[in-house]
C-alpha cells in the first residue's frame, strides 16, 4: 500500500473512533448506520469543505497544506505523536524508484562503544524493524535470556522484539501487563511504517504478525500511535523475580538510525537489587569466580 492508502486508512479509523458526543455534536436520537463521525461532521469541525475532506480520505487529493492537516488533527483529537504521524502519511511521495532490498542494519563503532561503556546496565540496540542488533550481557539476561546470546551477531538469526512480544511465550510471561507492552510495540511499528512506507521487510514483518497473532491484527487495525520513549514495566523474571524497570529508548536526533533501549530501576529499590543480582548472574565465569591468593615463596 502507498502512503496515500495508509493516510486513508488512518483517517477512516480515527474518524470511526470519535463519537458525536465526544466533540460536542448533538444527534437528537437519530440512528446512525456506522459508528463514529460522518465525513461531513469531521470536515465541519476542521473548517474545510466536505468534498475536499472526502477526496483526502479517499486518497484522491494530495499535498494538503500543513494548516489543513493541523485542523484535521485537532478535529480528530490527535496527540503530538499522532499529529506528526498524520503529517508523515500525507507527505507527497518523491519520484518513484525501483524498490530494492534494504541494506542490512548494523551498529556503528560509536554505538558499540556506548554499549560497552554502560556495562552493568541492561541495554539492547534495536533497528527500525525492532531487530536486535546487539545487546550487553545484562540486556540479554533481562530481555531474552532463553535465547542464544550470540544470535544478534548473525543477521539471519537476529531476534526481533516485536515477534518476541507477540509470538514468544517466555516474553509474554515476562511482562505483568502484557497488553500495555504489546500496544507500545504496535504503536511504534505504526510510526515506523509511516516513515518508511516502502520498506518491504517492514511490510513483511507486519503481515507475518497479523497472520500469526489475532491480538496483533486487532491492535494494528485500531491505528493507534504510541511513541514510547520512556515507559515503566513490571517484569516477572524467571531468575531474579518480580521487578519494576524504566525502559528508555535513546535515538539519534534524525530518528533514522538504530535505537538504544536501556532498563533502569530506582536506586536503593528492590528492583535495583534484582538488577544487581542479574548482573552477577550474567557475569563471565572467570570474573565471577574468586581468584586464589598468591602464594609467597620463602628462600
Q: pLDDT for 125-153, tens place per residue?
A: 999 899 999 999 999 999 999 999 999 98
pLDDT number for residue 179: 95
User: Which carries the bigger pLDDT value, residue 56 or residue 233?
Assistant: 233
Find all residues with CB under 8 Å of 227, minimum gap 6, and list them: 81, 187, 188, 191
pLDDT number for residue 32: 66
Strands of the 230-237 sheet, one edge to the other: 132-135, 123-126, 259-264, 241-250, 230-237
Is residue 293 predicted with pLDDT exceeding 70? no
Same-domain status, 168 and 57: no
Highest mean pLDDT among 1-15, 198-212, 224-238, 260-274: 260-274
pLDDT number for residue 254: 59
Highest mean pLDDT among 14-18, 210-214, 228-232: 210-214
Is residue 232 predicted with pLDDT exceeding 80? yes
Same-domain status, 68 and 150: no
Same-domain status, 255 and 165: yes
pLDDT number for residue 285: 64
Average pLDDT over residues 18-27: 74
Instruction: Report if residue 297 sits inside a domain.
Output: no
Is residue 26 predicted with pLDDT exceeding 90? no
Instruction: Report if residue 50 sits inside a domain.
Output: yes
pLDDT number for residue 126: 94
If pLDDT is split at 50, 70 and 90, which confidence band does 282 have?
Answer: confident
Same-domain status, 160 and 122: yes
Is residue 262 predicted with pLDDT exceeding 70? yes
Domain that holds residue 22: 3-26+34-90
Instruction: Report if residue 55 sits inside a domain.
Output: yes
C-alpha to C-alpha distance for 256 and 189, rounded to whole angstroms: 14
Model pTM score: 0.75
pLDDT number for residue 93: 56
Same-domain status, 191 and 262: yes
Same-domain status, 44 and 127: no
Same-domain status, 133 and 79: no
Instruction: Report if residue 123 sits inside a domain.
Output: yes
C-alpha to C-alpha distance for 76 and 13, rounded to whole angstroms: 10
Same-domain status, 140 and 72: no
Same-domain status, 78 and 121: no
pLDDT number for residue 184: 92
Task: Quote the number of domains for the chain.
Answer: 2
C-alpha to C-alpha distance for 185 and 191, rounded to whole angstroms: 10
User: Which carries the bigger pLDDT value, residue 79 or residue 28?
Assistant: 79
Same-domain status, 135 and 51: no
Find all residues with CB under 8 Å of 242, minimum gap 6, and list them: 176, 234, 235, 236, 274
Is residue 41 predicted with pLDDT exceeding 80? yes
Same-domain status, 231 and 202: yes
Choice among 31-40, 184-193, 205-214 with the minimum mean pLDDT = 31-40
The percent of residues in the chain predicted with pLDDT above 90, rounded, is: 38
Amino acid at each position: 500500500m502507498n502512503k496515500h492508502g495508509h493516510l486513508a486508512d488512518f483517517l477512516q479509523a480515527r474518524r470511526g473512533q470519535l463519537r458525536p458526543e465526544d466533540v460536542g455534536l448533538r444527534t437528537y436520537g437519530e440512528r446512525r448506520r456506522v459508528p463514529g463521525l460522518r465525513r461531513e461532521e469531521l470536515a465541519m469541525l476542521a473548517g474545510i469543505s466536505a468534498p475536499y475532506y472526502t477526496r483526502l480520505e479517499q486518497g484522491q487529493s494530495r499535498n494538503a497544506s500543513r494548516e489543513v492537516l493541523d485542523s484535521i488533527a485537532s478535529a480528530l483529537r490527535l496527540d503530538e505523536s499522532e499529529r506528526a504521524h498524520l503529517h508523515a502519511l500525507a507527505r507527497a511521495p518523491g519520484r518513484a524508484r525501483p524498490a530494492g532490498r534494504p541494506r542490512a542494519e548494523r551498529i556503528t563503532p560509536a554505538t558499540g562503544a556506548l554499549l560497552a561503556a554502560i556495562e552493568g546496565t541492561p541495554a539492547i540496540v534495536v533497528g527500525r524493524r525492532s531487530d536486535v542488533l546487539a545487546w550487553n550481557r545484562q540486556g540479554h539476561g533481562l530481555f531474552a535470556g532463553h535465547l542464544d546470546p550470540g544470535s544478534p551477531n548473525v543477521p539471519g538469526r537476529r531476534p526481533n522484539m516485536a515477534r518476541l512480544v507477540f509470538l514468544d511465550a517466555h516474553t509474554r510471561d515476562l511482562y505483568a501487563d502484557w497488553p500495555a507492552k504489546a500496544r507500545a510495540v504496535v504503536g511504534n511499528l505504526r510510526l515506523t511504517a509511516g516513515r518508511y512506507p516502502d520498506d518491504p521487510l517492514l511490510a513483511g514483518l507486519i503481515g507475518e504478525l497479523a497472520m500469526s497473532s489475532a491480538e496483533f491484527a486487532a491492535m494494528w487495525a485500531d491505528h493507534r500511535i504510541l511513541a514510547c520513549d520512556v515507559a515503566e514495566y513490571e517484569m516477572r523474571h524467571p531468575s531474579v523475580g518480580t521487578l519494576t524497570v524504566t525502559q528508555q529508548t535513546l535515538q539519534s536526533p534524525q530518528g533514522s538510525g538504530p535505537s538504544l533501549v536501556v532498563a533502569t530501576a530506582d536506586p536503593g529499590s528492590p528492583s535495583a537489587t534484582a538488577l544487581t543480582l542479574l548482573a552477577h548472574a550474567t557475569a563471565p565465569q572467570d570474573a565471577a569466580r574468586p581468584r586464589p591468593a598468591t602464594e609467597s615463596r620463602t628462600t
